[in-house]
Amino acid sequence: MKLAIGSDHVGLELKPTIIDYLKELGHQVEDFGPTTNQRTDYPKYGKKVAEAVAAGDYDGGILICGTGVGISISANKVKGIRAVVCSEPYSAKLSKEHNNTNILAFGSRVIGSELAKMIVKEWLEASFEGGRHANRIKMIDQI
């Protein structure tokens, strides 16, 4: 898959590990920043990654901030984006199967690198089930 990744200065702590892991799994990854741990603002990176995913340039996006909350809220402001913040793999998997999420977010202050990798793997390997869930996605789009 071709994936876009972004963070803020707090999420940057976990980002290199996740980038390496994605490459190890055979995915192509583009880092939308930041590249230094200078204090910055998560909405900037949530927006950049969300716009790239919504434009169809990437198969999905991964966002990391301290909690995953601010950066996922920012991404969800972009039309066509369904970003989920997850701290465990079950919700990550179901968020793809039922909600067709196109961005996964998590918090570097909430979870460790091994749990983050497990969450990423479940999310990437899951597929949207369509059917009754497709109609609900349409309903979301109409809100």
Active site residues: 65, 98
Binding site for ligand RB5 (CB under 6 A): 8, 10, 42, 65-67, 69-70
Which is nearer to ligand RB5, 93 or 106 (by Cβ)? Answer: 106
Q: Nearest approach, Cβ of 44 to ligand RB5 (angstroms)?
A: 12
- State how far Cα 24 lies from the chain centre: 18
What six digits make up the tokens of 50? 């969300």
Q: Nearest approach, Cβ of 62 to ligand RB5 (angstroms)?
A: 15
Dihedral sign, CA of 92, 3, 56, 44?
Answer: positive
d(CA 21, CA 142): 36
Which is nearer to ligand RB5, 4 or 12 (by Cβ)? Answer: 12
Which is nearer to ligand RB5, 14 or 92 (by Cβ)? Answer: 14
Residue 64 β-bridge partners? 7, 106
